[in-house]
Amino acid sequence: MTAEELINPMAPSLKVSDKTAKALEWIEEFRCRHLPVLDDYTLKGFVSESIILNANDQTKTVGELDLTGQTCYVSLHAHFLDILKVAGNHHLHSVAVVDDGQKYVGLITLLDIMAFFAQSASVQMHGSILVLSMELVDYSLAEICRYVEENNAKVISSAIVQDPLDSGKIKLSLKINQIDISRIAATLERFNYRIIGRYQETPSESLDKERLGLLFKYLNI
């Protein structure tokens, strides 16, 4: 999924000449915490409710404010993981999309990405989650997948975060396409992998997931 496919056609943008009162109204109306501010088609930054309230003057234009996220943008062809990285680096809930000439094309919000994740196979497919803790130097997804597949299962998706208490360690989350992962866990532990979390899907969770899928379909997200 690329940025071009995730652009929200309903997300508005502000001009540098728009008043802060209008910006506040749009932030509330569109429930978008960070709105892009444009000078023609050039991104000047993002405005938020806190920036406007700190200025304490609703007669100002948004172009007069101390905007944030002047470089919070991605290209049309950026992968959705790169979009998340840019949003995280700028601590914003929105990311602008620009074309090859650095002209503004549209906006992606974190809600748009969440909707995409909710529809993805890694979320919709039934299964369970294992969380492993290990030294970064010991990490080998190929080896771990081999142990999983030896138990007639597949790793649907994986995610890595750095251990906040030890920069040399990581926490690896695995989504596996089996409900009962006891044999898989036993195999991994036999090869000295430390399991710190185990989340097995229940029938009620499967039903909730199906209802969530129907809701997104109804809302046409």
pLDDT digits (tens, 9 = 90+) for 92-104: 999 999 999 999 9
Per-residue pLDDT tens over the stretch 1-51: 789 989 999 999 999 999 999 999 999 988 889 999 999 999 999 999 999
User: Domain for residue 218, yes or no?
Assistant: no
Q: If pLDDT is split at 50, 70 and 90, which confidence band does 164 have?
A: confident
3-class secondary structure, 197: strand
Residue 37: name the closest of 58, 59, 56, 12 by CA.
12
pLDDT of residue 221: 43
Residue 40: name the closest of 9, 75, 68, 16 by CA.
16
For the chain, the average pLDDT equals 87
Q: How many domains does the chain have?
A: 2
Which residues constitute the domain of residue 94? 3-117
Residues 51, 107 share a domain: yes
User: Domain for residue 216, yes or no?
Assistant: no
CATH number for position 108: 3.10.580.10
Residues 144, 99 share a domain: no
User: Domain for residue 11, yes or no?
Assistant: yes
User: Domain for residue 213, yes or no?
Assistant: no
Residue 159 has pLDDT above 50, yes or no: yes
Choosing from 62, 89, 117, the residue where a domain stops is: 117
